[in-house]
Structure 1
Amino acid sequence: MRAHHARAVKALAVQTEPGTEFWGWAGRTLGAPARTVTGTPAWLRLVSAPQDKTAGKLWDGALDAQHAFGDLDGHRPALLAVHDAVDDGIAYRAELSVRVDDPVLSDDPVLQHDIQLPEAWWNDLAGTLEKVSVVATDRVAVRQQYVDRAIPEFLGIPTPAVPSWTTAHGDLHWANLTSPLRMLDWEGWGSAPEGFDAATLYAYMLLRPDTAARVRTAFPILGSPAGLAAEATVCAQLLQTVSRGDNLMLADALRDWSEELRRH
């Protein structure tokens, strides 16, 4: 990964800052701050996958997002360039993006501290997600087949009808957001039940009830019949991760949420 990251630096004619590297889950990605030839701050991220596994949505997520959304009025780091390489059956994609220097709001997707954000931030978030939601795409973030299977299995209720499918970021949690608002990590975007992003953000703040209530204020679809399918889908997704040993700190809060959804 380091060798191919260094090759991408040369191919894209950028400079990286020595001694700074950031590894993603299971060593699948390697990122580092960089500067373009004109001195513009940038971020160079390298992702790897077996060559025969690069046809999925995750591989092309950032590039597709750039074509579909651009920089979303500055709320999405624009993708500047891409460089692909293959070595011994492994594909490598280097993505050069505008650098975001503001820290993410949480080091972990699960918000574990109360957070105070200005009203303008919430308005920017709601407005940006509305712009995303109306973009047409054939990408899929959540499949109907998953909804039909997971909700009965993990919530014990019949699958609610999905009144509307809209385009979603697909992984909207607190480690993918900054203030001022930037929305990071666009690998998994695509169609999902309406309200999916709001429900995801809410789920990852269940440990902080005050902030969780603020999400419901910003996104009134939560708690409404129109948002039930999205809430149930997200709750089922995270209960599934708990069953696999992840997000255990959310286990009790997710069970409480599932009880509330069952009553609805």
Structure 2
Amino acid sequence: MINLMGKVALITGSSDGIGAATAILFSSLGAKVAIVGRTQSKLDKVSSECQSKSPNGLKPIVIQADFENDGDVKRTFDETIKAYNKLDILVNNAGVARKSNFTDDDALEDYDRVMQINVRSVVLLTKLAKDHLTQSKGAIINVSSIASIRMSGTHWSYCMSKATLDMFTRSMASLLGPEVRVNSVNPGPVRSNFWNAHEDPKSLLDHMETQTPLQRVGVPDDIAQLIAFLASDAAKNITGSIVVSDSGTLIANPHK
């Protein structure tokens, strides 16, 4: 059984979706949690759920921040350490996707925003956290995507960012070991607000579901359970791994 009792976890992008599910699960497993997002009302809702699931009734630290700004990334780390005075687990989940054509006039603006949030903020937060994680012999879990493996033409910058994140995971696993384990979780389609920009997200995900070998797409808790495993001592022999959870999307037969 996974036990995170007393562990301090910083979970970015935790106002909804995978990040929220991870924060709630970690709280239920006894962790002390710092949650981070851009929308205060969503964070407040997640905070209440975390407190209700915590065996000790612990309320998480709530940090409203926008990771487009390096200053907010640093403030997020500083507030977490100020509150808990240590860090055991860092979950880099904050991310953004932009649909654009490479030939669009604003293509490079989209690229800069995606790389800032999906890559630079992760690098910066990892750099800030490494000494505390080394001291606690902690774990980093980067939330990537199967988009790092399978390209999408209209989301080229997102795919690039996730491929970069996977290589950063491997690099940090090599550099920070043996004290710190670093792994990547790469979800396929997950039923969350990530798809809300699509004109009919439910129909899109329902169609994706029919194409997978498992005849389903993920839900946030599927990915949260995997993150919790990788953060725990149950995964003490795993580092530098790119762990896919996609209902078999990558091996789906397109002619089936």
- Name the TM-score, length of structure 1 as normaliser: 0.30
The structure that is strand-richer by fraction is 1
Of structures 1 and 2, the larger Rg is shown by 1
User: Which fold has the larger relative contact order, with Cα–Cα distance below 8 Å and residues 6 or more apart in sequence?
Assistant: 2
The structure that is helix-richer by fraction is 2
- Name the TM-score, length of structure 2 as normaliser: 0.31
